[in-house]
Homo-oligomer: A and B are copies of this chain.
Amino acid sequence: MGATMLGIGAGLDHVFGGPDAENQQLPKVANPEVPFYGTHQAGIATPSQDFLSFAAFDITSSSIDDLRDVLKQWTAATAALAAGRPYGLSEEGADVAPTDTGEAFGTGPSRLTITFGFGPGLLGSLAEDRFGFARKRPHHLADLPGFRGESLDPKRSGGDVCAQACADDPQVAFHAIHVLARLASGAATLRWTQQGFGRTSSTSREQPTPRNLMGFKDGTNNLRVEEEREMNKHVWVQRGDGPDWMKGGTYMVVRRIKILLDVWDTTSIEGQERAVGREKVSGAPLGRDGEHDAVDLKAKKNGELSIPANAHIRLASPEVNGDQRILRRGFSYNEPSLAGSGQLDAGLFFICFQRDPRRQFVPIQRRLAASDALGRHLLHTGSGVFACPSGASRGGFIGEGLFA
């Protein structure tokens, strides 16, 4: 059998073309590789991929050396996988289980990105400072307050470290989390995972506006990753914002939001459009003709506001939120309905990035929770907030600044 070290190496050289062969054997994929190293982590200003595999980990070791080691290994694995290379095969023989589990052999990079974030529990507090990071903890990273109408499942919430794997192939995204989970062994353990598909927001000028599972175009006026000035103003942590290790980073909020489809589906088109503030088919703001027509919150027709006072796009708009914007980068989800419920279990895994959740996500969500007409069709069932440090440079690792 060919399962000797040599055999595997030869096989992979055949599949991957070897390090110097420019992957001649791989099928050509449009825009296949997103660079891993850089000022910012990939997967934030990257035009959204088609699939998500998200994982939150608990750090189970109390040793800072174990934590550093697992972050170094995750960094090295991410660099390899994002380049379409397997990770952790070459140093091992056929009689040992390789780190790379193999299901992404030959898929190509598929625009894989893995974005890491640190939860409040990891960074610690004066009361509990597990790794001595409390003095480096940014004030921006606070546990989220409770919001009206949420019903959070602790099994789908929190975590010490998160990894957002996105790719244009769901198997590639799955494989990334699979390999990270294997590397975590002994230092960290999976806390919860979430899978998603079908970008639920526009994030790039180059991509058409997708529809969410309520049937509406979503994210028409979202921040675009190409808007560098807006990204610096609303997303990237700037010098002076807090501790140095977060400069070039950002804060991620995730919310698992179930759509109560039974009620939504029996709401008239007119009722749905008034709740959203846009036309269902065209995506135009109510009272206008085209999706990209400007939203005029003051416009009236027959003495009534064209976009109702409790419409989602009004309450989420920068105009009523002190000019605050966030970069939304969520995905739809659909999970098994099990006998008894008789209903689909589907919704949105909301992900957003921002410079300061205390001034961005929190007040916006508080306003939505109080009045948004969409609110009665949604149930927030999971939640997390994470500090995503800057990107890594060659030889460095994600979160290195925390250990300095």
User: Within the assembled complex, what's the spacing in Å between the Cα atoms of A266 and B95?
Assistant: 11
Stretch in A30-38, A206-214, A352-360 touching the partner: A206-214
Shortest Cβ gap from A340 to chain B (Å): 7
- A residues adjacent to B (C-beta < 8 A): 1-3, 7-8, 11-12, 14-15, 53, 55, 94-98, 101-106, 153-156, 169-171, 174, 177-178, 181-182, 189-195, 197-198, 211-216, 261, 265-270, 273-274, 279-282, 284, 286-287, 289, 306, 332, 334-346
**Nearest CB in chain B to that of A288: its residue:** B2
Contact between A189 and B342, CB atoms less than 8 A apart: yes
Q: Please tell me which one of the listed residues B178, B282, B337, B344 contacts residue A11 in the complex, with CB atoms under 8 A apart.
A: B282
Contact between A2 and B189, CB atoms less than 8 A apart: no
Contact between A171 and B332, CB atoms less than 8 A apart: yes
User: Within the assembled complex, what's the spacing in Å between the Cα atoms of A174 and B196?
Assistant: 12
Contact between A266 and B97, CB atoms less than 8 A apart: yes
Q: Please tell me which one of the listed residues B171, B214, B341 contacts residue A103 in the complex, with CB atoms under 8 A apart.
A: B214
Q: List 21 A-B contacts (CB under 8 A).
A: A1-B270, A2-B279, A2-B282, A2-B284, A3-B270, A3-B273, A7-B279, A95-B270, A97-B266, A97-B268, A101-B265, A102-B214, A102-B280, A103-B212, A103-B213, A155-B338, A170-B197, A171-B197, A191-B342, A193-B344, A335-B336
Within 8 Å CB of A97, what residues of B? 265-269
Q: Given known contacts A103-B214, A156-B338, what 20 new A-B pairs fall within 8 Å (CB)?
A: A8-B280, A12-B281, A55-B337, A94-B270, A96-B269, A101-B215, A101-B265, A103-B212, A105-B211, A105-B281, A156-B336, A156-B339, A171-B198, A174-B346, A177-B344, A190-B344, A192-B336, A192-B337, A193-B344, A193-B345
Within 8 Å CB of A268, what residues of B? 94-97
**Nearest CB in chain B to that of A171: its residue:** B198
Within 8 Å CB of A155, what residues of B? 338-340
